[in-house]
């Protein structure tokens, strides 16, 4: 298994991926954006901005998802085809929040377009959406999109490499069900014995659970403490569990590929929005 990395990526490449969001630009202020929020009038007759946190009308939520027009949505709501957080809603003008579970004819809908972001995660950044964990991967992609994307799978704080984000619930469910093919470049504290390499190939039973990998081998032209490991398991600690079980300490973990996605032209700490062609390949998994 050959080493895969991102050496030699130039500054122009890094800037190209993040130019759409203004990331990486020095000395330039973002263009002025007009505030297009709708305003309402309070009892005193003064205009006030509508707060998105207060929710949006259910018919607009449905229309934004692309299913139908607002007028048609009102008809569907009246006939009981729409539920919010498990309850049928017939009330016209009912407001929902983005985090609510809204379903049309039993299928969950999303008012945002499906968005996919790929990050080359640096060391020392937590893979979490919590704001209490210091610097997180969500901070690194904050300028990528306004969609409510979340990381798919996890990388430990000190691990590096590719991490996928999306708001596509159907894809996330599919990946968690079938697994997500990822290739890792791993460095151990000592050379991996051939007998232990074979044990990993055949599968291990750790704490009563069977751990299977897709592929494992020494990295070409490197010491035998460097290993390539391909697996579909989505857990955060499975790699360390495998090698700890066999008496090794993991020094470095780098996710080199996710399915068909690679780190090519994506320097450490940078992100890019996936193209339609790249996202379509996920649907074929």
Question: Per-residue confidence of the chain (285 residues) as pLDDT tens digits?
Answer: 544 444 444 444 444 444 444 344 444 444 434 344 444 344 444 444 445 457 889 999 888 887 889 999 999 999 999 999 999 999 989 999 888 999 998 888 888 888 999 999 999 999 988 777 789 999 999 999 988 899 998 899 999 999 999 988 888 888 888 889 999 999 999 999 999 999 999 999 999 999 999 999 999 999 999 999 999 987 778 999 999 999 999 999 999 999 999 999 999 999 999 998 998 887 777
Domains, the chain, in order of start with CATH, read 50-108 (3.10.290.10), 113-178+266-282 (3.30.70.580), 182-258 (3.30.2350.10)
pLDDT score for 114: 87
Give the pLDDT confidence score for residue 78 in this predicted structure.
93
Instruction: At 78, list the tokens.
Output: 């009246």
The rounded distance, in Å, linking the Cα atoms of 246 and 252 is: 17
Contact 95, 54 (CB under 8 A): yes
Instruction: Supply the pLDDT for residue 39.
Output: 41
pLDDT of residue 63: 87
User: What is the pTM (predicted TM-score) of this model?
Assistant: 0.69
Give the model's pLDDT for residue 53. Answer: 55
DSSP H or E segment with residue 278: helix 276-282
For 107-156, give the DSSP string.
EE--SSPP-EEEEEEPTT-B--S-TTSSSBHHHHTTTT-SS--EEES---
| Helix or strand run (H / E) with residue 88 | strand 87-88
The pLDDT value recorded for residue 233 is 84
The candidate with the shortest Cα–Cα distance to 97, out of 117, 111, 115, 80, is 111
- Res 1: pLDDT: 58
Q: Tell me which H or E stretch contains 164.
A: strand 160-166
Could you count the other beta carbons within 10 Å of the beta carbon of residue 204?
Answer: 17
């Amino acid at each position: 298994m050959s080493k895969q990395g991102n050496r030699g990526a130039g500054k122009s490449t890094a800037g190209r991926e993040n130019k759409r969001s203004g990331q990486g630009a020095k000395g330039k202020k973002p263009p002025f954006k007009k505030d297009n929020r709708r305003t309402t009038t309070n009892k005193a007759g003064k205009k006030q901005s509508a707060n998105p946190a207060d929710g949006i009308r259910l018919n607009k939520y449905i229309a934004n998802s692309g299913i139908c027009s607002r007028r048609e949505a009102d008809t569907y709501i009246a006939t009981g085809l729409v539920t919010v957080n498990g309850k049928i809603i017939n009330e016209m003008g009912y407001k929902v929040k983005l985090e609510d579970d809204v379903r049309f004819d039993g299928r969950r809908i999303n008012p945002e377009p499906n968005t996919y972001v790929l990050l080359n995660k640096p060391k020392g950044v937590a893979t979490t959406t919590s704001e209490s964990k210091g610097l997180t991967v969500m901070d690194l992609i904050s300028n990528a999109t306004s969609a409510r994307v979340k990381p798919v799978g996890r990388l430990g704080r000190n691990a590096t490499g590719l991490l996928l984000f999306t708001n596509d619930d159907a894809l996330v469910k599919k990946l968690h069900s079938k697994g997500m093919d990822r290739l890792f470049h791993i460095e151990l504290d000592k050379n991996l014995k051939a007998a232990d390499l074979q044990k990993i190939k055949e599968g291990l039973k750790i704490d009563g659970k069977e751990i299977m990998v897709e592929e494992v081998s020494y990295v070409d032209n490197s010491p035998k403490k460097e290993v390539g490991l391909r697996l579909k398991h989505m857990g955060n600690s499975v790699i360390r569990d495998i090698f700890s079980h066999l008496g090794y300490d993991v020094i470095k973990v780098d996710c080199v590929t996710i399915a068909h996605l690679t780190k090519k032209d994506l320097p450490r700490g940078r992100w890019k929005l996936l193209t339609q062609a790249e996202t379509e390949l996920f649907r074929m998994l």
